[in-house]
Amino acid sequence: MQISYFGLSSFKLASKNYTSITDPFDKSSGLTPPRGNADLLILAEKENPLYSYTQSISGTPFIVDGPGEYDVKEHAITGIPIKKDGRLITIYLMEIEGIKILNLTHIKKLELTQDELEDLGEVDILIVPVGNNEVMDYETAAKAANLIEPKIIIPSHYQTGGLKIPADNLEKFLKEMGGKHENAEKLNIKKKDLTEEAVKIMVLEPMR
């Protein structure tokens, strides 16, 4: 599987046979909207145009846009509802090619019960927003990461070039997590590559 980053909470997850895109944003963000073909579109907040600009995505994708369980195109997806300032946002636990990915999308805080956390099981990759303001601040994000204990952490929703939405830079989160991280344009990962070694933080360069 290959994971690429567009910016904000938008990612491209490409498995051997299918491609999914999460939360494609519109140009009001200041960034170029995600483009490309997708088999699945996964939307955390379908009523918010900032995170559901589907017009730039080609193909005829199956749309996952809310809480529930989905088993489609070799993706096992569980949508978990989170309330934020009176709005419903969905976070997603996805299993693709045997790899479990928890995407916290653009929530402000992790409001899951102990039972719900246990139901997540072992998370391989955690995508966590770190930019404060409309999402988690760096301390809240770090606490969530330490609670979930994934093998790989991918930060999201931080300040990048051109972004008009208020967001902190990434450095605060990296420092809170000890500073050690790796930079890459894309993350290529297979289930067999995941080990019980120390948690790895991967910073993905946003695609233009």
Residue 84, pLDDT score: 75
> Is the predicted pLDDT of residue 91 greater than 90, yes or no?
yes
Nearest CA to 9 among 118, 140, 165? 165
Residue 114, pLDDT score: 83
| SS3 (DSSP) at 177 | coil
pLDDT digits (tens, 9 = 90+) for 110-167: 888 888 888 899 999 999 999 999 999 999 999 999 999 999 999 999 999 999 999 9
Q: Name the token pair of 97.
A: 């090619």
Please say whether the beta carbons of 10 and 161 come within 8 A: no
The pair phi, psi for residue 144, each rounded to 5°, is -65, -45
Residue 159, pLDDT score: 96
How many of the other CB atoms lie within 10 Å of CB of 30? 13
Element (H, E) at 118: helix 114-120
Residue 81, pLDDT score: 94
Residue with tokens 């606490």, as numbered in its chain: 143
Alpha-carbon dihedral sign for residues 46, 52, 54, 55:
positive
CA dihedral 55, 187, 202, 32 (to 10 degrees): -20
Residues in the chain: 208
3: exposed, middle or buried (Cβ count in 10 Å: 0-12, 13-18, 19+): buried
Measure the CA–CA gap between 157 and 140, rounded to whole angstroms.
14
Please say whether the beta carbons of 170 and 5 come within 8 A: no
Give the domains, in start order, of the chain with CATH numbers.
Answer: 2-204 (3.60.15.10)
Q: Name the token pair of 35.
A: 């483009």
Element (H, E) at 147: helix 138-148
Residue 33, pLDDT score: 95
> Is the predicted pLDDT of residue 196 greater than 90, yes or no?
no
Residue with tokens 């895109």, as numbered in its chain: 21
